[in-house]
Amino acid sequence: MISDKKLFWSLFVILFIPLTLAFFAGDRFRYPCQDPKNWDKEICQKPLCDVTRTCPEHIFKGQRDPRLGPPQANSQPAQTCQACPPQGAK
């Protein structure tokens, strides 16, 4: 039978190591061009990144390009078409 002290230290080590790694790991990026610090570097400029498809426009495909900053608020209200048929009408 395992003593209580040995069980405590075993659990402590099992919990301490992953928490320590998570705390000190820092930011990790799968591709170098995901890191905003690299966007101006040569590896993230075409044609180099286009060959490997790791340009920011490839990585963030389908999302707003983060290099453009936050979206601007639209100051004009959306115009509606008076002559258009209602949606869903056939």
What does the alpha-carbon distance between residue 54 and residue 52 come to, in Å, rounded to a whole number? 5
Provide, rounded to the nearest whole percent, the portion of the chain with pLDDT above 70: 72
Average pLDDT, the chain: 78
Q: For residues 42 and 83, which has the higher predicted lDDT (pLDDT)?
A: 42
Answer whether residue 63 shows pLDDT above 80: no
What pLDDT does residue 50 have? 85
Of the two residues 87 and 21, the one the predictor is more confident about is 21
**Residues near 43 by Cβ (< 8 Å), separated by ≥ 6?**
32, 33, 49
Q: Please tell me the predicted confidence (pLDDT) of residue 87.
A: 66
pLDDT attached to residue 15: 92
**Does the model's pTM come out above 0.85?**
no
From residue 29, give the alpha-carbon distance in Å to each of 3, 35, 36, 49. 43, 6, 10, 16
